[in-house]
């Protein structure tokens, strides 16, 4: 039937969430629909059923479409390893590391590949909903653009421009973006959407009319500010936002290179649980559960924890509190980390926290796999767990170490492997499994462990996938009720 591309006046204006909403609306209306973002930059990634890596934003969009995520929805993923370098994931596999300039110079190589991916999508689905990145008005990048107007040209796609009114200056940002586009690019822009509005729409309406007169493009709707329990946009998580205190307090260490912070989204549906991110001793307090998350630069992040005093606080907390490490966090909790090939940084070795008797070596080959398994040394009853692995290292057990989980399936193939580690008191645990809290069993076990210790009644956890699906329907209702879907369908169909 057609296609539509959502671009924005800048980062974090709501492109991802508008694409997600449109994907769900089109699905509700009976169309087969797929998301597409040619290039994503994020430390939040996901592993597909065939063991390929892609950005999390397109994963949520795939779920909105009722699809299993696949890498053709996000062929290029950039994962920053430092302020100046990123790991390039091409079609789900590691392509190499590059500086910003090196990557800018190689982008022209990927045009034919992106065109082929998009053509395949068009042939399989009624509608393709595309997403840009940052802003199309980044004129210094225009000559080699493959994600905004450059991708719109490859796909010959109409564009809708999104602006964020909550930041202020939305009229200037929309008009300024249009001003900096070339004539042929401006012709692609069929409408605008104003996002994150709070207040009286009647006061805003005169400005909408004036904006339309200035840029000669209609405003298709104003989406109100809302708070749904869906994944945060890549790179836009509000780590410092205040959360309502609840009986169970979970603190997550905000690492400088934190990755896969979506690992904790499943806790959002627990009525008695709040999650907060901390980056200093003063913020830490005395949480019921402390989590060290994944990292794209494990050694450097551990050294930062050491320098700011958080490592000592974590070690003191671990004497009686529940401490969990995920992937890089798990590696930090061991006795040592070696990086002989300088996979993540130029630091070849550092000693770990010494909380679990495991030693880690970072290796050249990346492990990317979907896994299933069961608890080995901590959970009672149904102990099935699932999730995905994304890591460059392998950890070896020292004398007396106990594994946390037993893995019996990797990418659909039967295996027999050990994962993670747990101490004798069962209060310090580490695992390589991202998304381990998405499943009911481990999340319920950990939370009920806290509830019992606080004299609270135990609870049954809910299915996160069902919860997420209901939130997607709420999102679709909000957007459908506040933008002109007739115009959207006209754009999609090429009218």
460-481 per-position pLDDT tens digit: 999 999 999 999 999 999 999 9
Look at residues 160, 218, 208, 222 and name the one whose alpha carbon lies nearest to residue 478: 222
List the end-to-end C-alpha distance of the chain, in Å, as a whole number.
11
Q: Which residue has the higher pLDDT, 84 or 277?
A: 277
Note whether 368 and 396 are same-domain residues.
yes
* Model confidence at 61: pLDDT above 70: yes
* Model confidence at 113: pLDDT above 90: yes
Q: What is the mean pLDDT of the chain?
A: 94
CA–chain centroid gap for 143, Å, is: 28
Q: Cβ distance 117 to 146 under 8 Å?
A: no
Look at residues 359, 345, 351, 330 and name the one whose alpha carbon lies nearest to residue 422: 330
Query: So what's the pLDDT on residue 244?
Result: 76
| 239, part of any domain | no
CATH value at residue 447: 3.40.50.880
Provide the 3-class DSSP secondary structure of residue 445.
helix
β-pairing verdict for 248-253 and 159-164: unpaired
How far apart are alpha carbons 192 and 348 in whole angstroms? 50
Note whether 451 and 476 are same-domain residues.
no
Counting the structural domains of the chain, the total is: 2
* pTM of model > 0.85: yes
Q: Give me the mean pLDDT over the 343-364 stretch.
A: 95
Note whether 17 and 75 are same-domain residues.
yes
Query: So what's the pLDDT on residue 378?
Result: 79
| 464, part of any domain | no
CATH value at residue 486: 3.40.50.300
| 47, part of any domain | yes
Note whether 78 and 219 are same-domain residues.
yes
Please name the helix (run of DSSP H) or strand (run of DSSP E) that holds residue 121, with its range, or none: helix 111-124
Note whether 156 and 264 are same-domain residues.
no
Note whether 160 and 257 are same-domain residues.
no
Note whether 408 and 281 are same-domain residues.
yes
Q: Looking at the annotation, which residues are catalytic?
A: 327, 434
* Model confidence at 59: pLDDT above 60: yes
How far apart are alpha carbons 335 and 398 in whole angstroms? 9
Q: CA distances (Å), 334 to each of 20, 116, 293, 325, 368, in order? A: 39, 45, 14, 10, 21
Assigned token pair, 137: 């008005």
Note whether 173 and 293 are same-domain residues.
no
* Model confidence at 234: pLDDT above 80: no
Query: So what's the pLDDT on residue 233?
Result: 60
Say if residue 201 is exposed, middle or buried (CB neighbours under 10 Å; 0-12, 13-18, 19+).
Answer: exposed
Assigned token pair, 465: 């996938």
Q: Cβ distance 280 to 308 under 8 Å?
A: yes
> What pLDDT, in 10s, does the model give residues 345-354?
889 999 999 9
| 141, part of any domain | yes
Containing structural domain, residue 424? 248-455
| 236, part of any domain | no
Note whether 195 and 162 are same-domain residues.
yes
How far apart are alpha carbons 112 and 206 in whole angstroms? 44
Note whether 198 and 290 are same-domain residues.
no
pLDDT bin (cut points 50, 70, 90) of residue 236 is very low
Note whether 145 and 111 are same-domain residues.
yes
How far apart are alpha carbons 192 and 149 in whole angstroms? 15
Note whether 333 and 480 are same-domain residues.
no
Query: So what's the pLDDT on residue 242?
Result: 58
Look at residues 10, 477, 480, 463 and name the one whose alpha carbon lies nearest to residue 236: 10
| 240, part of any domain | no
CB atoms within 10 A of CB 473: 13
Q: Which residues pair with 36 in a beta bridge?
A: 130
Q: Give me the mean pLDDT over the 355-368 stretch.
A: 96
Assigned token pair, 468: 């997420």
How far apart are alpha carbons 276 and 273 in whole angstroms? 10
Say if residue 157 is exposed, middle or buried (CB neighbours under 10 Å; 0-12, 13-18, 19+).
Answer: buried
pLDDT bin (cut points 50, 70, 90) of residue 239 is low
Q: Where are the alpha helices (DSSP H) in 216-368?
A: 281-284, 298-308, 310-317, 328-332
Look at residues 403, 483, 400 and name the one whose alpha carbon lies nearest to residue 195: 483
* Model confidence at 377: pLDDT above 50: yes
Say if residue 449 is exposed, middle or buried (CB neighbours under 10 Å; 0-12, 13-18, 19+).
Answer: middle
Q: CA distances (Å), 415 to each of 258, 375, 378, 409, 418, in order? A: 30, 15, 21, 5, 10
| 461, part of any domain | no
Look at residues 320, 325, 360 and name the one whose alpha carbon lies nearest to residue 343: 360
Q: Cβ distance 248 to 54 under 8 Å?
A: no
| 242, part of any domain | no
């Amino acid at each position: 039937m057609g296609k539509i591309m959502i671009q924005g006046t800048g980062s974090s204006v709501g492109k991802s969430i508008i694409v997600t909403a449109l994907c769900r609306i089109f699905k509700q209306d009976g169309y087969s629909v797929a998301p597409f973002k040619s290039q994503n930059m994020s430390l939040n990634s996901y592993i597909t059923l065939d063991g390929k890596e892609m950005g999390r934003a397109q994963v949520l969009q795939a779920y909105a479409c009722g699809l299993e995520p696949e890498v053709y929805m996000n062929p290029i993923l950039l994962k920053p390893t430092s302020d100046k370098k990123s790991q390039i994931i091409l079609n789900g596999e590691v392509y190499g590391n590059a500086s910003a300039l090196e990557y800018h110079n190689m982008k022209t190589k990927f045009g034919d590949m992106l065109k082929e991916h998009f053509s395949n999508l068009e042939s399989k689905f009624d509608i393709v909903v595309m997403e840009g990145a940052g802003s199309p008005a980044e004129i210094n990048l225009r000559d080699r653009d493959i994600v905004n107007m450059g991708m719109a040209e490859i796909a010959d796609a109409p564009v809708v421009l999104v602006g964020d009114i909550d930041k202020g200056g939305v009229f200037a940002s929309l008009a300024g973006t249009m001003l900096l586009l070339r004539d042929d690019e401006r012709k692609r822009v069929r409408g605008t959407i104003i996002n994150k509005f709070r207040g009286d729409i009647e006061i805003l309406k005169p400005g909408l009319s004036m904006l339309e007169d200035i840029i000669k493009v209609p405003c298709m709707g104003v989406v109100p500010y809302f708070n749904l329990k869906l994944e945060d946009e890549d790179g836009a998580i509000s780590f410092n936002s205040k959360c309502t205190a609840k009986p169970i307090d979970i603190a997550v260490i905000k690492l400088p290179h934190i990755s896969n912070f979506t690992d904790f989204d499943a806790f959002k549906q627990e009525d008695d649980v709040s999650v907060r991110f901390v980056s200093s001793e003063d913020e830490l307090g005395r949480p019921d559960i402390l989590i060290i998350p994944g990292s794209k630069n494990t050694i450097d992040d551990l050294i930062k924890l050491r320098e700011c005093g958080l490592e000592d606080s974590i070690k003191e907390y671990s004497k009686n509190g529940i401490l969990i490490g995920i992937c890089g966090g798990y590696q930090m909790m061991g006795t040592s980390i070696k990086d002989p090939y300088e996979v993540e940084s130029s630091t070849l070795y550092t000693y770990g926290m010494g909380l679990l008797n495991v030693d880690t070596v970072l290796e050249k080959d990346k492990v990317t796999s979907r896994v299933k398994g069961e608890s080995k040394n901590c959970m009672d009853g149904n102990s099935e767990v699932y999730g995905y692995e994304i890591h460059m290292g392998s950890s070896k057990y020292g004398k007396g170490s106990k594994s946390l989980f037993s893995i019996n399936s990797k990418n659909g193939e039967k295996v027999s492997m050990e994962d993670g580690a747990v101490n004798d008191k069962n209060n310090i645990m580490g695992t390589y499994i991202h998304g381990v809290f998405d499943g009911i069993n481990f999340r319920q076990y950990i939370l009920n462990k806290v509830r019992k210790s606080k004299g609270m009644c135990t609870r049954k956890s809910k299915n996160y996938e069902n919860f997420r699906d209901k939130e997607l329907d709420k999102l679709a209702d909000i957007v459908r009720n506040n933008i002109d879907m007739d115009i959207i369908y006209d754009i999609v169909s090429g009218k």
